[in-house]
A and B are shown apart, each in its own frame.
Chain A
Amino acid sequence: MVGLSLGEKHFIQGGIAQDIRSDGRKRLTYRPINVETGVIPQANGSARIRMGATDVISTVKAELGKPISLQPDKGKVSIYVDCSPTAAPMFEGRGGEELSTELSVALQRSLLGGKSGAGAGIDLSSLVVVEGKICWDLYIDCLVVCSDGNLLDALGAAIKAALSNTGIPRVQVAAGASGDEQPEVDISDEEFLQFDTSDIPVIVTLTKVGRHYIVDATTEEESQMSSAISISVNRKGHICGLTKRGGAGLDPSIVLDMISVAKHVSEQLINKLDSEIAAAEAGDDES
């Protein structure tokens, strides 16, 4: 996959051990993050995030649907990731499906909380229009345009940015409908409701190379990893989801240490991302 010579491998590993990586970053420094919002006008909200050469687009589309009978007071959110073959020739045909599923599941795990809906980054009860009858279904579709490592963090950030960009039309429910009838609704073209995205967690992936962890690994660095842990942390410092990748075993104490490092990193990332999103939104409004 990644063709690296022995010398290059040693260079990457040695750099990480000495806290100066191939591109000059420290172990816990991110690449510059570039946020663009409103890139897909057909969607209710969209954003494009670029971190170095990694480039992802995330869109949010809202459709009216019916809540599931077990949770009448909650809307539905589904997340799908698609790996475009433009990102790498190996994603051609069905080649990207495996990675797409893995990323979709990891994002759902990180952002949507437990089965009961508790701990979800998106407040599902705010999506209900008429309890038990009508709710908004949010479809979050992500596209990987270019991949240079750290896809999960980029996708998580893109979803956060896309949700901040999302406007959900205000719905007027026609009065008088009662009983089992499906009430009639009127969707406003002008009034939009914004999302509160402050509770949406960010995903921090710590890649373990040798004895050290690095954030925001590039493809070359990822090829040298022994294992990686993706932790999603919200503003309160609570863990909202965790996924381990890579086969090598880890001592439980290392896992706990990685979690505390990730928490520390996430604070900076949340602040940085918020200011970038705010800047992108401001620029978007002007143009």
Chain B
Amino acid sequence: MAGKPGTTPTTYSPSPTTQKTRKPIFNKDDVDWVRPDGRGFHQCRPAFFRTGAVNAASGSAYAEFGNTKVIVSVFGPRESKKAMMYSDIGRLNCSVSYTTFATLVRGQGSEHKDFSSMLHKSLEGAIILETFPKTTVDVFALVLESGGSDLPVVISCASLALADAGILMHDLVASVSLSCLGKNLVIDPILEEESYQDGGLLITCMPSRYEVTQLTVTGEWSTPKINEVSLSTGIIAYFYPHLEELCCIREWNELHDFV
């Protein structure tokens, strides 16, 4: 636990902490602890999705989860670079970058290599790469504002952008992260909660096929806790129709007609 016990404030102050030792956002023994933004432990932030955010791209989507705002554009399938070897399945190229103003401290605005490879791994299982041999699909994600759980939002948004581009997929990919704070498991953590977390879990799945495409866990987890993974798949199942209904009914139907 960060900080010392006993100095815990009873209320959460939303201003960014500037003092040297940070106060923990909740007390270990505090049973009535509420999350900084008043959500329940197993409640997602209000979400907003929209497709067709970038005109120049073959497909694009914008997603907003609380303060986390991302834009993803998909280009292609287009001819692979000449230098690349022949491949009878398509290639997927992913890149996640942050704007310079995405974080509290002005950043570099550079590519996030780790997230890029995670995005690639989460999506490659869902896309039917056999349908576009010798070509490349580029997925560019830009995090406009980082408000916690950036990667899950990027992944969900990217799958939507791929659907918008008319790229054949087995299913949409939905993703969510969990934070373990003391004994509590909170879903869809904000930046504040992420920085205090004792452990984290990111799960990416294709809900209608009920398959996990990507899973990472950090921190120490006991067996019963790991079993709560089913909780997050449940949450995804809850949030998936939302994803499907709210934003891409038209595109999705088109896709099905196309098939």
Assess A/B contact in the complex (Cβ within 8 A). Answer: yes
Residues of A within 8 A of B (CB): 69-72, 98, 101-102, 105, 109, 112-116, 118-119, 227, 229, 234, 237-252, 255-256, 259-260, 263
Q: Is the CB of B221 within 8 A of A115?
A: no
How far apart are A88's CB and chain B's nearest CB, in angstroms?
17
Q: Is the CB of B213 within 8 A of A113?
A: no
Q: Is the CB of B114 within 8 A of A244?
A: no
Using known A-B contacts A114-B219, A119-B198, A249-B206, determine if residue A244 contacts B117 with beta carbons closer than 8 Å. Answer: no
What are 5 A-B interface contacts by the 8 Å CB criterion?
A113-B198, A115-B196, A118-B199, A251-B210, A259-B226
In the complex, what distance in Å separates the CA atom of A259 from the CA atom of B225? 12
Query: Number of contacting residues on B, CB 8 A?
Result: 44
Residues of chain A within 8 A of B198, CB atoms compared = 113-116, 118-119
Interface membership of chain B positions 42-72, coded 1 if the CB is closer than 8 angstroms to chain A and 0 otherwise: 0000000000000000000000000000000
Q: Is the CB of B233 within 8 A of A116?
A: no
In the complex, what distance in Å separates the CA atom of A249 from the CA atom of B205? 7
Residues of chain B within 8 A of A244, CB atoms compared = 121, 212-216
Interface residue ranges of B215-241 to A (CB < 8 Å): 215-223, 226-227, 229-230, 233
Partner of B216, one of A243, A247, A249: A243
Using known A-B contacts A98-B117, A241-B218, determine if residue A252 contacts B124 with beta carbons closer than 8 Å. Answer: no
How far apart are B84's CB and chain A's nearest CB, in angstroms?
14
Partner of A255, one of B1, B2, B212, B219: B212
Interface residue ranges of B2-45 to A (CB < 8 Å): 2, 20-22
Instruction: Give the 3 A-B CB pairs with smallest separation, nearest first.
Output: A249-B211, A119-B220, A114-B219
Q: Which of A71, A237, A242, A249 is most buried by chain B, counting CB atoms within 10 A of its CB? A: A249
Q: 14 new A-B pairs (CB below 8 Å) besides A72-B20, A239-B223? A: A114-B180, A114-B197, A116-B1, A116-B198, A229-B215, A234-B220, A239-B222, A241-B216, A244-B214, A246-B125, A247-B213, A249-B206, A249-B212, A251-B211
Q: Is the CB of A252 within 8 A of B219?
A: no
Q: Is the CB of B229 within 8 A of A255?
A: yes
B78 on the A face (CB < 8 A):
no
How far apart are B29's CB and chain A's nearest CB, in angstroms?
16
Q: Is the CB of A250 within 8 A of B211?
A: yes
B209 on the A face (CB < 8 A):
yes
User: Nearest CB to that of A199 among chain B residues?
Assistant: B220
B194 on the A face (CB < 8 A):
yes
Q: Is the CB of B220 within 8 A of A252?
A: no
B113 on the A face (CB < 8 A):
yes
